[in-house]
Amino acid sequence: MSGEEAPTQQREEPEQQVKKAEEPKPEPESPAAVKPEEKMEEEEEKALSSRALVLTGYGGYEKIKLQVKTMKAPQLRSGEVLVRVKACGLNFAELLGKQGLYELLPAPPVIMGMEGSGVVEAAAEDVKDRKVGDRVIAMNRCEMWQELVVVPAKRTYLMPEEMSFEEAAALPVNYMTAYMMLFEMANLRPGKSVLIHMAAGGVGIAATQLCQTVQDVTVFGTASASKHETISQGGVTHPIDYRTKDYVTEIRKISPNGVDIVLDPLGGSDTQKGFSLLKPLGMLIAFGAANCVTGQKKNLLAMAKTWYHQLSLNTLKLMQSNKAISGFHLGYITDEELFDRTVLKLLELYRQGKIKPRIDSCYHFEEVAEAMKRMHERQNIGKVILLPEPKKSEEKPKSNADAAENVEKNQAVAGEKKDEAVEEVKAEKD
Ligand SMILES: NC(=O)c1ccc[n+]([C@@H]2O[C@H](COP(=O)([O-])OP(=O)(O)OC[C@H]3O[C@@H](n4cnc5c(N)ncnc54)[C@H](OP(=O)(O)O)[C@@H]3O)[C@@H](O)[C@H]2O)c1
């Protein structure tokens, strides 16, 4: 299916990770792999506790369990850092992943999450450009939804001082996707027009802000009516309520010749409509299939409908139409130089005040079901963030019956109950 994705390589299956963390401590001559930070050896002796959101099978919200693991400090391999995660991004890809529709997510049991931010807690000896205490953005193909995560140092980026952990977690996937599509693929230039679907969502807001960095760009944005005021303030020139109006007709009323660029995260009949709206020499970029998703569980009818209505053309017809179609998927970007260049450019734009992630809401790990529901029910304007930190008892509880059911205290002290920890996860797989 579609979706997006995250950038780097998965480290290990969670099961292996648990085992790895429980391996006996190396002999005194081998721990050279870890930078000799003060009290490091003492730290290794201590048991670490880490909360993680584990997808235990495909289906509804109840398939995501909050587990608490206790383990020894991970032995870092060359090039790795251990990050204490402070905030994580929720992406549409995880809605797809939960339903088994995201091809880059390994099979359950798996810890989800592709992006986050936090503080470096340890670094391998050969890592020279990150140190303990650094505030970083971190990315991984999955496994970011946990308190302690090991990632390649090259997939971490130093956060600007003024950036909050929530903003840092909201930036990578949405802004990289929007930036690469607009500037690397579509070559956005002054005076052009862009149609942005899901304009009040994470990628939509990122794309709108990036359009503002170029002179005289007209943005048509589709979103639910209640979100129009916010997206207009954010830079959408013409907000369109796709739920009550035909957006093709609305756009043609304003711009009879159509638009130069269409960013299409929907698929199916919307790709056909988007293509029909392109001006000569215009470009449509297909980057998602949100039309396949109608609720928390897989909808085969919606999938079939999207598939049936997909745009199909031959190259002769394409040539005669003078239009371009391309596809984009961040998860399949393997060019590390392009990857780094894009993140660094985005951080520069952030420092210049030209982009700023809009945080819709923050949910503690216990409330993951509520967070996903917010996106499924199309309530979010901007990014939904997950916080590993436990919810404080004095915090007003959100109306979230599901969340309580999802908490699964899986206290497995390394070396004592390790099989239990692994088995409990496996049991959910079947
Ligand atoms: N290819 C890639 O590399 C890549 C990377 C990132 C994201 N994406 C794609 O970009 C799209 C946006 O992703 P995002 O993470 O930024 O999510 P998001 O836009 O925050 O998603 C939620 C919002 O999208 C709108 N929406 C439209 N159709 C929906 C549906 N079927 N279910 C739920 N909401 C729907 C809703 O707003 P309204 O009420 O305004 O309709 C909703 O509030 C997704 O299709 C995703 O797969 C692709």
The residue whose C-alpha atom lies closest to atom 18 belonging to ligand 1 is 201
| Closest atom, ligand 1, to C-alpha of 383 | 20
| Cα 291 to averaged position of ligand 1 atoms, centre (Å) | 9
Task: Specify the residue with its C-alpha closest to ligand 1, atom 8.
Answer: 4
Rounded Cα–Cα distance for residues 323 and 253 (Å): 21
For 275-340, give the DSSP string. Answer: HHHEEEEEEEEE---GGG--SSS--HHHHHHHHHT-----HHHHHHHT-EEEE--GGG---HHHHH
Q: How far apart are CA 63 and CA 300, in angstroms?
A: 19
290 Cα: distance to centroid of ligand 1 (angstroms) = 6
pLDDT by residue (tens digit) across 256-312? Answer: 999 999 999 999 999 999 999 999 999 999 999 999 888 778 888 888 888 878 888
**311-348 burial string, b = 16+ CB within 10 Å, else e?**
beeeeeeeeeeebbbeebbbbebeeeeebeebbeebbe
Predicted model pTM: 0.85
Q: Most distant CA pair in the chain: distance in Å?
A: 74
Nearest C-alpha neighbor of 422 from the set 8, 14, 3: 14
Q: Output DSSP code: residue 24.
A: P
Sign of CA dihedral 235, 194, 376, 369: negative
Question: How far is it, in rounded angstroms, from Cα 13 to Cα 425?
Answer: 12
DSSP state of 27: P
Cβ of 238 below 6 Å from ligand 1: no
Q: Give alpha helix (H) positions in 134-221.
A: 165-170, 172-179, 202-211
Per-residue pLDDT of the chain (430 residues; tens, 9 = 90+): 333 333 333 343 333 333 333 333 444 444 445 555 555 555 555 688 999 999 999 999 999 999 998 888 889 999 999 999 999 999 999 999 999 999 999 999 999 999 999 999 999 999 999 999 999 999 999 999 999 999 999 999 999 999 999 999 999 999 999 999 999 999 999 999 999 999 999 999 999 999 999 999 999 999 999 999 999 999 999 999 999 999 999 999 999 999 999 999 999 999 999 999 999 999 999 999 999 888 778 888 888 888 878 888 899 999 999 999 999 999 999 999 999 999 999 999 999 999 999 999 999 999 999 999 999 999 999 999 999 999 887 665 443 333 333 334 333 323 333 333 433 333 333 2
CA of 3 to the centre of ligand 1 (A): 9
Residue 388 Cα to ligand 1 middle (Å): 23
- Taking each helix axis from N to C end, the angle separating 172-179 and 202-211, rounded to the nearest 10 degrees, works out to 50
- Helices H / strands E in the chain, number of each: 15, 17
Query: 183 near 213, Cβ under 8 Å?
Result: no
Domains, the chain, ordered by start:
48-167 (3.90.180.10), 172-351 (3.40.50.720)
